[in-house]
Amino acid sequence: MGKRSEFLDVVENLKIYRMKVSHEVPLCLLEESKKFNDYQYFLPHLADQYPEYGEFFKRYRENGGYVIMDNSLHELGEAYDHDRLMYWVNEIKPNEFIVPDVWEDAHQTIYNAMEWSGIEMPEETTKVAVVQGKSYKEAKDCVLAFKQSGYKKIAFSYGANYYNDLTLHPNKDMGKVLGRVMVISHMLQEGVLTQEDRVHLLGCSLPQEFGWYEDINCIETIDTSNPIMAALEFKEYSPSGLKSKPKANMNNYFDIDKDKINEELIDFNTKIFKKINNLK
């Protein structure tokens, strides 16, 4: 407990940056998540399985909370059913909706983005397209196509395998971290992205990644369950983060009993997440 106290004592003095963060949590921690989340991240397939989950998000939006709605690709292996996505878009009226993408398939993802660009959304909802592909060139093609199709915000996944081809770091989790940093940096240098663009970062391999975007102003939002999943594995963040990604995921822990969760460790990890990334 001594080391934890030392880390937490300085959290209140953090420098403020623009990036906003949301950590996905098990069902039993939704209310508590308001204390550490800047906004809430909505997974539509869970709303069909757990009615109380959907009700939480409806109330949150009605009370003026900011919501980004995902398409559940990461959890399901493919984007959720079209009709159910549209149902929840119209029910929740999220501030942002991540349109369906296809894992590491740039061509199909671009096709989907073009198709969804013509689908009517609630007036307050901004469509977000996700970069996919097996190479830097394919990722760049995605960004250019999205911009041509009128997308105002673009997302980059944490787990693209080509990130490891770009960096060759022996630690594969660190390789993915460095790969995404490298891709976004190169796109800025080439003018594919600009500092005035709007970017969302989907997940992370290691929590210390986000401090390396300090001078990249286009990154607006981040979602990651990393500090929560680490706590569910009883892993405590060090002052520099983690060396490997937690194996836990929301599919396995969403309906966990609250008495099995170390809430003190969740509080600690979420605060250290902000500290190591210069966020507040």
pLDDT attached to residue 14: 36
Mean pLDDT, to the nearest integer, of 126-154?
98
Residue 77 backbone zone (phi > 0: left; psi -120 to 50: alpha; other: beta): left
Query: For residue 1, what pLDDT is reported?
Result: 45
Q: What is the pLDDT of residues 200-222, one digit of tens each?
A: 999 999 999 999 998 999 999 99
Name the band, by pLDDT with cuts 50, 70 and 90, for residue 2.
low
Strands (E), 174-274: 199-202, 219-223
Q: What is the pLDDT of residue 12?
A: 40
198 or 6, which is more confident: 198
Q: Please, which residues have CB within 8 angstroms of residue 263's CB and are 6 or more apart in sequence?
A: 29, 32
* pLDDT for residue 185 is more than 70: yes
Mean pLDDT of 49-53: 97
Backbone angles phi, psi at 167, to 5 degrees: -110, -30
pLDDT of residue 104: 98
pLDDT at 4: 53
Residue 193 CB neighbours (<10 A)? 24
| Angle formed at CA 49 by CA 48 and CA 52, multiple of 5 degrees | 85
pLDDT at 133 over 80: yes
CA-CA distances (angstroms) from residue 202 to 97, 170, 226, 243, 245? 13, 23, 11, 19, 14
Three-class DSSP category at 90: helix
pLDDT category at 249 given cuts 50, 70, 90 is: confident
Strand order in the sheet with 40-42: 20-22, 219-223, 199-202, 153-157, 126-131, 96-98, 67-69, 40-42
* pTM of the full structure: 0.93
> pLDDT (tens digit, 9 = 90+) per residue, 5-23?
544 444 343 333 479 999 9
